[in-house]
Structure 1
């Protein structure tokens, strides 16, 4: 019986591959956009403008503190009422990118604040402009500090992408729901789906662990 259902599931491999490709494409695009915005958020959060930092912090806390499924529904179902029509893929990218930016922003801000004050003073004493200080001194050190956390956030982003199946996007999770209609073995079907996510995420998990060990060794 096991092999019978396993063979039937393998017969749907084109659907699984299509869902896997959608998950990878959605995650990668959202990651790139979210990282770009997130680094800008981090610079603002760690900057000297207290009011701007607090306002952005409230925005970040709003999205970090609400269910991602609700955010996806707002983007896909509510924004059209305001005249902003988005496809399921575009809505998924917008929601995922925004969520990633919020988490990455806090990670980057923490990294910038962790840079020793002496580095800032040395950069200022050398006559660097604020932009040069950020680009040449502060950000490179902050990135080294937060890289393991950023990689871990990328893993979470890939897993969060499964939520977009709720708005009909044919990602890896949605493909599992389609297959289980014909193969009534939910454990095997979604076990296969889970394996797909694991295959994507495991190399990143190993990379995060390696970077953490390297950072610990550097402190010794």
Structure 2
């Protein structure tokens, strides 16, 4: 079988545009998901039963349902309540709520891995519970959780391909568009796969370098 990639001369901008959309969706999804995940992690380890239950229910529901179903509910289902989101915003919301559920468990595990003696020492010095968490526990937990956060970013980059189902011109959508124009089923997908690999491989190397730098400090 002979592969023909000559179409890239005319369609490389389509792929570039799609890759840029993919990176934007992934960046905002992980950023907002991390912030939301911290909140759910703190609720998960809270002594208040109602907060703990709400966070646990959220995490189990989101992790137990497919992201494709979630994006359809957010983009199409919310119209029943008069909420009409653009495909791009619906994509960010979906990636955010999905990432938050996984990041909440990452942060919970990271927080609980910190020696409780440090918390007790901070409290004995007069620091409040919130100050101890913000100044002592979370900075150490973040350093330990950096590999897991990086892995979540990589997963979100790949899972963002599902957002193409609501018409966002991200990378997978761009590949399918090129397929329809040149009538070649394989080559446009191979190009998309190569771009996904370059993005995830580059990110993993950058995060590895950051992790080593933090470890040596």
**1:214 Cα deviation (Å)?**
8.0
**1:105-126 deviation line (CA, Å, top 9, x unaligned):** 1100110011111111111111
Deviation at 1:14, TM superposition (A): 1.4
Any stretches of 5+ residues in structure 1 without a counterpart?
A: none
Deviates more, 1:50-59 or 1:172-181: 50-59
Structure 2 equivalent of residue 21 of structure 1: 20
Contact kept in structure 2, 1:173 and 1:193, CA below 8 Å: yes
Note closer, same or farther for the CA distance 1:209–1:170 as it changes in structure 2 (3 Å cut): same
Cα distance in structure 2, aligned partners of 1:51 and 1:82: 27
Taking the aligned partners of 2:106 and 2:145, their CA distance within structure 1 comes to 7
What is the CA–CA distance in structure 2 between the aligned matches of 1:16 and 1:161, rounded to whole Å? 15
State the secondary structure of the residue aligned to 1:169.
Answer: coil
Q: Which residue of 2 aligns with 1:172?
A: 171
Kept in 1: contact 2:41–2:55 (CA 8 A): no
Distance in 2, Cα, partners of 1:167 & 1:85: 13
List structure 1 segments (4+ residues) > 3 angstroms apart after TM superposition: 207-215
Q: Indicate whether 1:184 and 2:153 are aligned.
A: no
Match in the other structure for 1:43: 42
Residue in 2 that maps onto 1:202: 201
After TM superposition, the score normalised by the length of structure 1 is: 0.91
Aligned: 1:9 with 2:8: yes
CA contact (8 A) 2:30 2:152 kept: no
Task: Calculate the TM-score normalised by the size of structure 2.
Answer: 0.92
Could you tell me which runs of 5 or more consecutive residues in structure 2 were left unpaired when the two chains were aligned.
none
